[in-house]
Amino acid sequence: MAIRKAMVAGNWKMNGSIELVKDMSDAINSIKSPEIDVILFPPFPLVSAMIASGVITGAQTVSENTPGAFTGEVDAQLLKDLGVNYALVGHSERRSIYNESSDVIADKFARAQSAGLIPVLCVGESEAEQESGQTEHVVAAQIDAVIKKLGVAALKDSVIAYEPVWAIGTGKTASPEQAQAVHKFIRDKIASLDSDLAQGLTILYGGSVNEKNSELLFAQPDIDGGLIGGASLKAASFVAICNSAKGTV
């Protein structure tokens, strides 16, 4: 069975500053460990500063297009050349606010991967979908969009982040048991196509994760770490979450 390394990723969304880059990088560099990968996803203007600080850096989104007349978009190859390692694709805010379809997200996944970035594919259901028992159907369809376009093998060099939309920024969090059930569903689904790939795949949980609930969430067998929002803007909170992921709480 593959041994998966713990991962904690912080998505700053449209927040942050040069001062915060320094504070967070100092905190993260003080706890660096071979047991865990820590990644920050700052807004685009802070990417170069984050890379220079020594923290593994990701982009919050990426264009599905190759360079051309796409004002305001950012090319995956340029990000890779700058030193970016990861790219979020399919975050619920991109799906809902910017109307990115699962087909477009699969194209973004492909473009990021072709440039040498590691895509972090975000999947998750709305509150209405969760209440009507559609969680597995919705999550499966979001993953299948990538598999249909690129094949299951493309998931080998990727990360999946399960983020129930009803838990993002709301203070609501799936119970450890709820989150584990969906993570197991994802891993089992992929295992039905490629068992070795599924065992080695990093699957993160996101949705109001904080220093109080992270230990129990990360203790679940199929939860390999977290994609953190608000708590990634506070050094002490984020460090505590990272420590719980590597088992040093």
**Going from the N-terminus, what domains does the chain have, and what CATH number goes with each?**
6-245 (3.20.20.70)
Catalytic residue among 91, 93, 100, 125: 91
Report whether pLDDT(249) > 60. no
Q: Do 7 and 232 contact (CB within 8 A), yes or no?
A: no
234 band by pLDDT with thresholds 50, 70 and 90: very high
Distances (CA, A) of 84 to 46, 81, 176, 239: 12, 7, 31, 22
Catalytic residue among 93, 100, 125, 163: 163
Active site residue 163: yes
What three-state secondary structure class fits 61?
coil
Report whether pLDDT(132) > 90. yes
Q: Which range among 157-161, 169-173, 181-185, 216-220 shows the weakest confidence by mean pLDDT? A: 169-173
Annotated binding-site ranges for substrate:
11-13, 169, 208, 229-230
Segment 43-101, tens digit of pLDDT = 999 999 999 999 999 999 999 999 999 999 999 999 999 999 999 999 999 999 999 99
Total-model pTM: 0.95
CA distance 159 to 9: 11
Task: Look up tokens 């978009």; give the residue.
Answer: 73
CA distance 126 to 60: 21
- Residues 181, 184, 188: CA angle, nearest 5 degrees: 140
What are residue 205's DSSP bridge partners?
Answer: 162, 226
2 band by pLDDT with thresholds 50, 70 and 90: low
Per the structure block, which two tokens stand in for 247?
Answer: 């088992």
